[in-house]
Amino acid sequence: MNSSDKRTGIADMAPDTVALIGVPFDEYSSFMRGPAKAPAAIRRVLHNGASNLFAENGIDLEGHPGFCDLGDLTLPEGEDAIAAIQAAIAKLASSKARVLALGGDHAVTFPIVDALATVHEGLSILHFDAHPDLYETFAGSCFSHACPFARILETGRVDRLVQVGVRGMNDLQRRQVEKYRVTCIEMKDFRQDMPIELKGPLYISLDMDVLDPAYAPGVSHHEPGGMATRDVLKLIQSIQCPIVGADIVEYNPDRDVNEMTAAVAAKFLKELAGIMLQQSVTGHF
């Protein structure tokens, strides 16, 4: 996506539109690069004809007037990219669009949420991940993909962070959970029928490594013992409060097998978009 609002359609974005936008950035990945290739790979599977564009609630994304794919951001390097992401999402937020972002690594979540929190007061976050991503700094960077939720929470503009699927936390991360008063549901404690109280406006951040590697081999950090695809879908589909934005991050096409993980990411895309579109129809914003 280039910088022209007229050409991207941002200037003409109708309120409540679900705006899909690619954020191909992985410069702050700590272990291996690759997630920058994810938006193109997810779109390729989404449109390859192997499946349709219906969400399970019956909403068809194909030609839906409330769904708009804006393509990918063209980003500079380093901290300039963080600023560019924030600026682009701020334009969407000001138009009251519902943002659905395709990362990229988890570093992209901070500028996205930072932009949305300026418009949506009292924002809550539901965070699916194998890792808490709460380091103050990691590998010398405060913008590492291991740090976004520390950056988000230190702004004081997010009311609550709920994390699901976490496993393998170290002592430092546990102290960070306590410091920031995070509701962290570790995978060892997760049950499908456990109640998770959420309130809107809500942002969903979905790191693909929340899934067990059997369901999502195409991630940089394999953490066995994770969630099943249906676990994530069931929780997303149970949400009753208004969802103002979401991201799908940390898919690494370089590690995928037969595009299996891309297909799961595309499924999550359809379900998140379908719920947001359903909420648009009902005025649930």
7-63 pLDDT, tens per residue? 345 656 788 899 999 999 999 999 899 999 999 999 999 999 999 999 999 999 999
Q: DSSP letter for 282, please.
A: H
Considering the entire predicted model, what is its pTM? 0.94
Q: Give the sheet arrangement for strand 18-23, strand by strand.
A: 67-72, 18-23, 98-103, 243-249, 202-207, 123-128, 158-166, 183-186
Q: Is 194 exposed, middle or buried (0-12, 13-18, 19+ CB in 10 A)?
A: exposed
**Residue 30 is part of which domain span?**
5-126+193-282
SS (H, E, C) 177-236: HHHCCCEEEEHHHCCCCCCCCCCCCEEEEEEHHHECCCCCCCECCCCCCCECHHHHHHHH
Q: What's the token pair of residue 241?
A: 């409060």
Check whether 4 has a pLDDT greater than 60: no
Binding-site residue positions for Mn(2+): 106, 129, 131, 133, 207, 209
Flag whether 60 is in a domain: yes
> Which pLDDT does position 171 carry in this prediction?
96
Q: DSSP string covering 77-103, please?
A: STHHHHHHHHHHHHHHHHTTPEEEEEE
Flag whether 143 is in a domain: no
Flag whether 204 is in a domain: yes
3 state SS of 249: strand
Flag whether 133 is in a domain: no
Read off the pLDDT of residues 131-155 as tens digits, 9 standing for 90 and up. 999 999 998 899 999 899 999 999 9
Q: What's the token pair of residue 118?
A: 């300026």
Flag whether 231 is in a domain: yes
The Cα–Cα gap between 132 and 216 comes to: 19
Flag whether 171 is in a domain: no
CB 30 within 8 A of CB 145: yes
Check whether 1 has a pLDDT greater than 50: no
Number of domains in the chain: 1
> Which pLDDT does position 10 carry in this prediction?
65
Greater confidence (282 vs 133) lies with 133
> Which pLDDT does position 9 carry in this prediction?
58
User: In CATH, what number is assigned to the domain containing residue 198?
Assistant: 3.40.800.10
Flag whether 131 is in a domain: no
Binding-site residue positions: 106, 129, 131, 133, 207, 209
H helices, E strands: number in the chain: 8, 8
The Cα–Cα gap between 110 and 133 comes to: 11
Flag whether 78 is in a domain: yes
